Amino acid sequence: MIVPRNRSVDRSAEDPPPPWWRPLHTMQGTSASMTCPKGHHSVLLDHVILPDGTVTGPPGQSGSVVCPHAGCTFHETVTLQDWEP
């Protein structure tokens, strides 16, 4: 699934329809937070994001994204559109 970027930086502005992602700045560098198509939030801190936006896992682990929301069945490989490392 290709996930478009949420460019709304004003927190009071309305978010676009899910799914979307936005940058998440951490001590280790830039990661991302995203929503599944149902709008549940998750963070990709335990994933590796390649320069082209492909979300993969740490070596030897699956790169697919599992929605952490109880009861949600979202579980897919994801590409972040307009990713800037």
Q: Which residue, 24 or 72, has its beta carbon nearer to Zn ion?
A: 72
What sign for the dihedral angle of Cα 21, 25, 31, 35? negative
DSSP state of 17: S
Task: State the minimum distance, in angstroms, from the CB of residue 65 to Zn ion.
Answer: 10
What are phi and psi for residue 5, nearest 5 degrees? Answer: -80, 140
Q: Which residue, 3 or 36, has its beta carbon nearer to Zn ion?
A: 36
Q: Which residue, 34 or 36, has its beta carbon nearer to Zn ion?
A: 36
Task: State the minimum distance, in angstroms, from the CB of residue 44 to Zn ion.
Answer: 14
- Rounded CA-CA distance 13/6 in Å is 11
Q: What residues make contact with Zn ion under the rule CB under 5 A?
A: 36, 38, 40, 67, 69, 72, 74
